[in-house]
Amino acid sequence: MEAVVVDYGSKLLKAGIASPDQDPPCIIPTKMKRVLEEGEAAEGEGTGNVEEVMVDTVVRGFVSDWDAMEDLLHHVLYTNIGWEIGDEGQILFTEPLFTPKYLREQLVQLMFETFNVSGFYASEQAVLSLYAVGRISGCTIDIGHGKIDVAPVCEGAVHHIASKRFEVGGVDLTNLLAQELQKSNPSVNLDISDVEKIKELYAKCASDQLEFEKMKNSCPAEQHTLPDGQVITIGKERYIVGEALFQPHILGLEEYGIVDQLVTGVSNVASEYHRQLLENTMLCGGTASMIGFERRFQSEANLSTSAIRPALVKPPEYMPENLARNSAWMGGAILAKVVFPQNQHVTKGEYDETGPAIVHKKCF
C-alpha cells in the first residue's frame, strides 16, 4: 500500500496517496461543525438553544482541537482514502515552521495509538515546497490562511535562526478587504465568506507603490452581485490585499515587507550560501496566485539593496498549475517515495519502545 500524505492548514486539509506530479485528490475545510450533546451548551449560550457550533480545528497553522482533528482524519483516511480498520498504512505529515515539540508528539501519538499506522514521518513545509520544484536549497515565502512563514533552507534543512513566522495570513487580508469594501458600500451587509470569494475573484497586486497610490485615486469600478442579490461596487479595494504584504503598516504591523524580511533573514546565514538561497526563492500559498503578485515581488526584489537579489524559481513544466497552492503536499509525496522504502520513518516497534519523543530523533 502506498503511503498517504497529509498537509493541514488553518483553512484546508489536503490528503491523498503519494503522487508527486498530481494535485492532492482530497481537499476539504478544516473548520468543522460539532453537534452538541443533549444538555450541553455552547460558550455564552443557554442550554437547549444551540444544536451545533463551528470548531476551528487548526488555528494559525497549528492544531488547536485534537478531538476535531481525530474526527477529521478518520473521515479522510477511512472514507476518502479508503483505509480499512486493522489494515492501516504509512503516513507522512507536513509541518509548519516552528511547530512546538509537544504538538509533534501529540500527532505521532494519535497516529500510532488511535489510527494504528504502520509507519510515520513528518517534514517541514518549507523543505517540501522546495522539493516540489526540484531544489534542496532555497527560500520559501509561504502565505497561508492563518500565518506567513519565511524560511531559508540549506541542503534540505530549515535554517531556523534565519526564519521568521508572522501571525497574519489570508484570513487577515480577507478581513482587511471586508473593512475597505464596507467603507465604500455602507448599505451592503457583507458576509465574510462572500468577501473571501470576492478576494479570490478580484484581488490584484499593483506593479509598484506608485501604481498603488495612483489606483487609490482613479481605479475603474466593477459591480458584483452577492448570492443574496445585493450588488457591491469593487474598485480600489482590490489592490489593498496585495499591497499589505509589501507595506504591512496597512495591517497595523510595524514590520518590513516580505522582500525585506527575506533578505534580512538570509543575512543571518553564512555568506557563501546567500546566492544559492536568494536565487532559488519560492512563493507558496493561495495568495501567491494573486494576479500581479509574482511580478510585484520580483520588482521589489530588483530594488533590494542586497548584493544578491532574490529571484523566483520556475516550476518544472510537468508539475500541475496549482503548484504554489499545493507545493508542500507535492513535496511530501516526493519525500514519501524515499523515506518509507528506505526505512527512514518511525516504525510501530520504535514508537512502542521509545514513545512519542521518537519523532524528534527520526523526523528532522
d(CA 219, CA 222): 10
Q: What percent of the chain has pLDDT over 70?
A: 96
Taking each continuous run of H as one helix and of E as one strand, the counts in the chain are 13, 17
4-31+59-131+321-362 — its CATH code?
3.30.420.40
Give the model confidence (pLDDT) of 128-184 as tens digits. 999 999 999 999 999 999 999 999 999 999 999 999 999 999 999 999 999 999 999
- Residue-wise pLDDT for 55-110, tens only, equals 999 999 999 999 999 999 999 999 999 999 999 999 999 999 999 999 999 999 99
Largest Cα separation within the chain, whole Å, is 67
Radius of gyration of the chain (CA): 22
CATH number for the 138-168+254-302 domain, one of 3.65.10.10, 3.40.190.10, 3.40.980.10, 3.30.420.40?
3.30.420.40
Amino acid at position 163, single letter: S
Per-domain residue ranges of the chain: 4-31+59-131+321-362, 138-168+254-302, 170-245
**Does the pLDDT value for residue 194 go beyond 70?**
yes
Q: What is the pLDDT of residues 265-324, one digit of tens each?
A: 999 999 999 999 999 999 999 899 999 999 999 999 999 989 999 999 988 888 888 899
Fold classification of 170-245 is: Actin; Chain A, domain 4 (3.90.640)
Name every residue whose Cβ is closer than 8 Å to that of residue 322 and which is 6 or more positions away in sequence: 23, 289
Same fold flag, 138-168+254-302 and 170-245: no
Kindly tell me if the per-residue pLDDT of 10 is higher than 80. Answer: yes
Cell of 184: 465604500
Chain mean pLDDT for the chain = 93
Q: Mapping DSSP to helix (H, G, I), strand (E, B) and coil, where does residue 233 land?
A: strand
Entry pTM: 0.93
User: For residues 207 and 38, which has the higher predicted lDDT (pLDDT)?
Assistant: 207
Whether pLDDT at 44 is above 60: no
Task: Give the pLDDT of residue 50.
Answer: 55
The pLDDT of residue 35: 79
What's the confidence (pLDDT) of residue 47? 47
Confidence band of 217 (pLDDT split at 50, 70, 90): confident
Q: What is the pLDDT of residue 52?
A: 78
Query: CA 358 to CA 220: how far, in whole Å?
Result: 58
